[in-house]
Amino acid sequence: MLDIRFIRENPEVVKENIKKKFQDEKLPLVDKVLELDKENRDTIQAAQDLRTQRNALSKQVGMLMGQAKKTNDPSKLEEAEALKKRVSDDAEKLAGLEKKEEELAAELHKIMLVIPNIIDPSVPIGPDDSANVEVQRFGEPVVPDFPIPYHTEIMESFDGIDMDAAGRVSGNGFYYLLGDIARLHEAVLAYGRDFMIDKGFTYCIPPFMIHGNVVEGVMSQTDMDAMMYKIEGEDLYLIGTSEHSMIGRFIDQILPEEKLPQTLTSYSPCFRKEKGSHGIEERGVYRIHQFEKQEMIVVCKPEESRDWYEKLWQFSVELFRNFDIPVRQLECCSGDLADLKVKSCDIEAWSPRQQKYFEVCSCSNLGDAQARRLKIRVRGEDGKTYLAHTLNNTCVAPPRMLIALLENNLQADGSVKIPKVLVPYMGGKEILVPKAK
């Protein structure tokens, strides 16, 4: 969410930013915000003038009542009663102005939530993900000389997945992981946890449900409607990623500058509606309603957020290369950025079966957007407060990671080689051998 003063002073900049995000339908909202803002400020001033007048009249009433008592002058009493009537009338007017002020502020806030954040000048301009730009590749993509089955078929060869039973129990978009595949899933999470701890991040397990005001603070309304599951009858939502509750941890807080940056890595299950059908490549465990993830979160000073953005996505590259998985960095274009984001990139893993890359991590710099919504402030050495910047990045999400790991480490005989860094987490196993049928 933008600062209302910024919109007031730079309406054309805000409009140009909306155009760059190909959201022209939102252009009238800028003028609407300016109109509501002026009306709201006029209402606040009128209410303040009435309070000042009321206080002055109340003092006069007190003086006149005192004079009437001392002098027994009925005219003073009549004058006091007339002023009392004016004070009473002003009180009714003030109540109306205060109600109007509240309504205007609520309407203004609602519109402000959908005006997109100002994107970084380096963001490529384009309408959708087709205009995202490949920046660089890490590792050599390989297409083996033997066919690679669909990822669920690989898992089934190890008796490692049961989607039929999950469908009977929970419906589409769920799965049971079993045996070595389940163990590999947990090994990836454990390695991701330790990898981030070694980078100096503090490990955290957050709440898996959050209040509606936190949801509003961490994501756009569009994303909220498309992703979040609400608990019926409660002001609680299941988190779509641990970033939601991790950033929410700092709501209404003033952080001492010397405590920054806050660097946290959090584990959580994630729950997502994942509306729509996306074809064969989105079946299996690619696009599901429940999965587990290790996340990276940073709360820092504004001048440090660009450097942290670079560090975070590079951590993802390093981690995936440790699994012998080729990856590339893809810069997200303006039209593919969520409204709160200043800048974002995806890390995509190589799929030998599809012979293309697919998204496995998303790194985002949100500037002060989340901090403004959640009132996350920093107290500087001079005693003044300012808004923090927040960033997040996927460390590892095993369902998609498992696809990339299995395909890139599959051998011609159907076995899967365990990357060296995961062997200790697999009880010393260096290779998974398919079950005899």
Q: Average pLDDT of the chain?
A: 91
Per-residue pLDDT of 351-399, as tens digits, reads: 999 999 999 999 999 999 999 999 999 999 999 999 999 999 999 998 8
Q: How far apart are CA 401 and CA 349, in angstroms?
A: 8
Give which of 429, 432, 421 is closest to 191, Cα–Cα.
Answer: 421
Chain length of the chain:
437
Report residue 76's pLDDT band, with 50, 70 and 90 as the boundaries.
low
Closest CA to 310 of 393, 431, 397: 393
Place of tokens 């260096």: 430
Name residues whose C-beta falls within 8 Å of residue 12's C-beta, 6 or more positions apart in sequence: none
Q: Enter the DSSP assignment of 381.
A: T
Give 122's Cβ-side CA count (13 Å radius).
Answer: 9
Q: Greatest CA span in the chain, whole angstroms?
A: 112
* Predicted pLDDT at 41: 93
Q: Residues 362, 218, 35, CA angle at the centre, nearest 5°?
A: 120
Q: What would the pLDDT profile of 179-190 be if each residue is shown by its tens digit? A: 999 999 999 999
pLDDT bin (cut points 50, 70, 90) of residue 280 is very low
pTM: 0.89
**Residues 307-349: pLDDT tens digits?**
999 999 999 999 999 999 999 999 999 999 999 999 999 999 9
In one-letter notation, the amino acid at residue 362 is: S
pLDDT digits (tens, 9 = 90+) for 284-297: 787 889 999 999 99
Question: 186-221 burial string, b = 16+ CB within 10 Å, else e?
Answer: ebbbbbbbbbbeebebeebebbbbbbeebbbbbbbe
pLDDT of amino acid 286: 76
